[in-house]
Structures are given as C-alpha cells and as structure tokens.
A and B are shown apart, each in its own frame.
Chain A
Amino acid sequence: MLHQLTLTDLTHRLARRECSAADALQSCLDQIQRVDGQLHAFLSWDEADARRQAEAADAALASGITHAERPLLGVPIALKDVFCHEGQPCGCSSRILQGFVSPYDATVVSRLKKAGAVVFGRLNMDEFAMGSSTENSAYGPTLNPWDTTRIPGGSSGGCAAAVAANECFAALGSDTGGSIRQPAALCGIVGMKPTYGLVSRFGLVAFASSLDQVGPFTKDVRDSARLLQVIAGPDSRDSTSIPSPVPDYLAGLGHGSLKGLRIGLPREYQVGGMDPEVSAAFQAALTQLTALGAELVEVSLPHTEYAAATYYIIAPAEASANLSRFDGVRYGLRVDGASPEEMNSRTRGTGFGPEVKRRIILGTYVLSSGYYDAFYVRAQKVRTLIRQDFLQAFQKVDAIVTPTTPTAAFRLGEKSDDPLQMYLSDIFTISCNLAGICGISIPCGLTATPRLPIGLQILAPPFGEATMYRVAHAYEQSTPWHRQQSPLS
C-alpha cells in the first residue's frame, strides 16, 4: 500500500515510474476516507486542488524532472491549520478565524510547492497552538491512532495523528513549547523543532514570536532531514531568519557509529512523576546509545525547575500582544457593539475559546503596569540563565538526551479541567524553545498494555541539526521502534 511508504521510498518509486503522484495522493485520500472518521486529524481538504497539483507533478516527472531538482516532487504533504496557503482556509482551529481565506503563501508553503510537493489539507490543532492535547480545538479533539480513547498530544495533534495513521507522507507543524515533539512522541513518529531562526516564520500565524518555529512531522529520521532541507534557510520576509547557508543534512546522517560523540544526561530531568515504563524505555535507549559508541556524560541544567514558570509568563505575554490583531475589523469574526471597544470585546469574548482567553488574560496581566518588571522582565532574565545552562552544557557534550514526555498519551478529558497539570505535561520540551536550540523526538519504545508510543528527545546546540540527526538516525536504524505501526495505519 503506497500510503504506508516513507516519503523517501515514495520518491524512489515515483522516480522509477512504478507509481504516479496521482496514485500516491489517491492512496492518502482513501486512507483518510477509511480512518479519519475515527481520528478527526483533518479539518478539511481540497481534493480538486490536490489532484491538480498531483497531475502537475506527474507531468513534471514525465518531462524528465528529477528529485535531485525538486526533492518532494509528487509527495502529498499536509499542513497544521496555522499556515497561510493561498486561496485555502486558515483558521488555527478557532471560531474567530472562521471563513478566513489566506491571501498569500507562507514561506514554508511556497518552498514545499517549489520542491514539487502536493500540499493539501488542514490539520487540527489546539486553538492558536495553545495546548498539549488538541482538546482545545473549536472543532473537537483529534484522537490518538494507537488508542482512540486517548489524546494525540498537542498542539499539533492533527499532524502527529495524520502521519502516524499514514493519511499523508509528512506534515508541517509549529512548536512553541513542545507542540511538534510532544505529539510526535505520543503518536510514535518523528517530530523536529529547528533552532530558532533556521526556518522562516513568514505566513505562520504567530503565537509567541520569540519561541515559535516551524518543523516537520515524518515517519523516520531520513524523511525529517529531507523535509528540513527544503524548508530551512534565510528569508528576507522574516527579520529573525539567520542569513547563513544550510548544511547538507542528508549527507550528515552518518553510517551508524556514534564513536567520539559525547551525549549529556541532565541530572535535573530525573524528576518525580515519570511513568516507570517511560523511565525503563529511556534507560534502554541510553544503553543502546552507549552500544553505538557514544560516551554518556552527566550534565547540569540548574534552572530547569523554573522553565515552566518562565514559559508561562513569556509565551502568554507575547500571545496577548500577537492576538490583539483579532479585533473584528480586518478579518474573521465580528460581533457588533455600540462602540469600537464593545465590538472588539464581544468579538473576542465570543470568538476565542477558554484556553486562549486564559492565556491572553494571563499575558495581559504580566505585561500590565506594576507587574511588568516583577513578572515579564524577571522571566526574561531567568530565560537568559536557562539559555546559559544549555550553552555551558554544550561545551562539554555534543547532544543532550531526555524522555520527550513524562508519560505516554493520556486519556481524553483527563487533564482538560486542570490547566496547570496540562502545562506540566510539557516539562521536558519547553526549555529547548526558551534556549533557542534544536530538538527532535523519535520513537524509543511502547508501553505494554495498552501499547502506546514513548519518545526519546535529542537536543543539540543552536544550528546543531546535523549532530542531532546523526544521533537520531544511528539510534533509529539500530532499533525496531520506527517500524511499529499504529492500529489505524
């Protein structure tokens, strides 16, 4: 079945003309038809537009264009509902953007198209990327393809569920505090957050601009490197995009040995509340990394315990400013009022869901007169300390490993009434965004009953993606976990 292939294997088949781009798309559409009623990963898709793109890809292949020239030629790739895709709806799973049609392409979308991808479908998410379970979508939750009584993680839960269920060959999501790595871990696939500044944010709806990065969801590490290669690199439309050339990530995957690499184990991540099966899988992964030749070194990240508090000041503060644009004037929902202020407040009161309101109000509070220094500026200073912790650790080691999450996927509704507990489910992923480094989650085990995926997180220094991929690829290729398929695959 075509939809079960990796992105890389599909490109090989397309290149050999053993299948067409139209066949590959049809296989995805059939799979969506078969399983998405149980998952609700997709909010919508434009079948006619996707078929036109697939036909164009087939014409290009027939004219002799190769994957060396257009690396994603004919590959169906879906998007989190947070990217502008010209002529297509973009709603951030929020009522306030109901009916919005993107007037232009995000830079990452135009790069996918230029590389020949068939870009189709909007994937469900926590509203405005705020959440860890995809239960905050205004259009209902996405479910985990390994166990449909459980959440897929979030905020990019639709991306993770869709790739884990083989509804598309890969997806793009966004990660502000773990929103790619955490759902990838809980759905048993590969999810990667690039170094801040590596991938353009132009056309990504902003949540917290100093933390947001775009990254790929894929079925294995090689596919991840392939997709990052396409979307990374300078963009004059994003002033935080770093003007440096992008290395060849595929060439850097290596041949399995980790000899000479030093891998750090942060002593502060041995926290209470970690599930024993997650802990056991992590220990087994450490043994495997040693067997591959890596040297394990204990490192210290002393400000780890303050990362969640720092994040839940900085991210809501930035969000409260970014989301002020949803005012009922230029786009989206409007609820009328007698004055502009009444119209704004009613529109936002009606259009935003509870988690978005919580964060906007929290962010407004920590930025308000009298509290700005005590909360916001103090959090920015602690952020400096968190970044310094990592930069110091990376003087001693090439990469750092942690579990991606403290537990496997939790049940629908289990944490939805307790925002603080939900926030703490991101405890291992948020420091990476605060420090601006890169990180990836790859499968490293399954719980016994029910069988639920467990993720291994590999963190590397700023612009250390090549090292991160080398470790991830060596581990993946020497273990069976990435070949495990969800029951709905």
Chain B
Amino acid sequence: MSDFDIRYVARLARVALTPEEEKKLGNQLGLILGYIDQLKQVNVDGVEPLSHAVPLFNVTRPDIPAPSLDHEAALRNAPSKASGLFVVPKIVE
C-alpha cells in the first residue's frame, strides 16, 4: 500500500509514535494491508452490508427516570479533577 502514511493516520488516531515505532508499525501494517486487500476479489454486487448479526433495530428502554452513576463515583477514577469537574489542558486562549 504505497499511499499508506503512518504519520497521518497515527495523528488521526491521536497516538503519538516514536520514529522507531513509525518504522516498525508502518512495515507491519503494510503487510497486513496487503493481506486484507484480497477482499477486492470478492463480488459484492447487490450485497447489503452487515453491521451486526442481531435483527434488532431502534431498541429503546421505557421512558422512566432512573438513577445513574453518581457524580462522585464518575469522578473517582479521573487523573485530574477540581470543583467536581474533569480538568483538561487549556482549550481556548
């Protein structure tokens, strides 16, 4: 796959790679992409895509309020929190 740009895709995926990882993963993914390319041989004309194997659609629960995870429990695993909120690096200058 000559047009596979590991740096571009890793950026889309928000995964920082070292130069060594870029090289190794890039080579391995090239082989894997070569393998999956064989799907181009299958005739799929008129075939509907299958997103999952269960014939259920638009499943909703009854519209009745019920308790959900409480605030403190939801924050308990946060790597950084303050004033009952998750803390992230500054987004707007």
A236 & B61 in contact (Cβ 8 Å cutoff): yes
The dominant DSSP class at the B interface is: loop
Given known A-B contacts A339-B89, A343-B89, A365-B4, A384 and B49 have beta carbons under 8 A apart: yes
Please provide the chain A residues from 84 to 101 with a CB less than 8 Å away from any CB of chain B in the complex. Answer: 99-101
Given known A-B contacts A330-B78, A382-B44, A103 and B69 have beta carbons under 8 A apart: yes
B51 interface residue (CB < 8 Å to A): yes
A146 interface residue (CB < 8 Å to B): no
Q: Mark B37-48, 1 if CB is under 8 A from A, else 0.
A: 111101010011
Number of B residues whose C-beta is below 8 Å from A?
52
Q: Mark B43-66, 1 if CB is under 8 A from A, else 0.
A: 010011111111010010100000
Number of A residues whose C-beta is below 8 Å from B?
76
Give bound CA distance, A462 to B31, whole Å: 34
Given known A-B contacts A100-B77, A337-B89, A338-B89, A352 and B56 have beta carbons under 8 A apart: no
Beta-carbon nearest neighbor of B53 in chain A:
A436
Which of B10, B14, B44, B74 meets A327, CB within 8 Å? Answer: B14
Q: Mark B16-50, 1 if CB is under 8 A from A, else 0.
A: 11100100110011011101111110101001111
A451 interface residue (CB < 8 Å to B): no
A377 & B54 in contact (Cβ 8 Å cutoff): no
B73 interface residue (CB < 8 Å to A): yes
The dominant DSSP class at the A interface is: helix
Give bound CA distance, A365 to B29, whole Å: 10
Q: How far is the CB of B68 from chain A (nearest CB, A)?
A: 10
B82 interface residue (CB < 8 Å to A): no
Q: B79 — which chain A residues lie within 8 A by C-beta?
A: 328-329, 331-334
A381 & B53 in contact (Cβ 8 Å cutoff): no
A240 interface residue (CB < 8 Å to B): yes
A342 interface residue (CB < 8 Å to B): yes
Which of B4, B42, B77, B86 meets A332, CB within 8 Å? Answer: B77
Residues on B facing A (Cβ under 8 Å): 4, 6, 9-18, 21, 24-25, 28-29, 31-33, 35-40, 42, 44, 47-54, 56, 59, 61, 69, 73-74, 76-80, 86, 88-91
Since A242-B54, A328-B79, A360-B13 are in contact, a sample of 12 more A-B pairs with Cβ atoms closer than 8 Å, ordered by chain A residue number, is A101-B76, A103-B69, A103-B76, A103-B77, A239-B59, A306-B39, A330-B86, A366-B36, A375-B39, A379-B39, A420-B32, A436-B52
Q: Which 4 A-B pairs have the closest CB atoms?
A: A436-B53, A349-B16, A380-B49, A210-B52
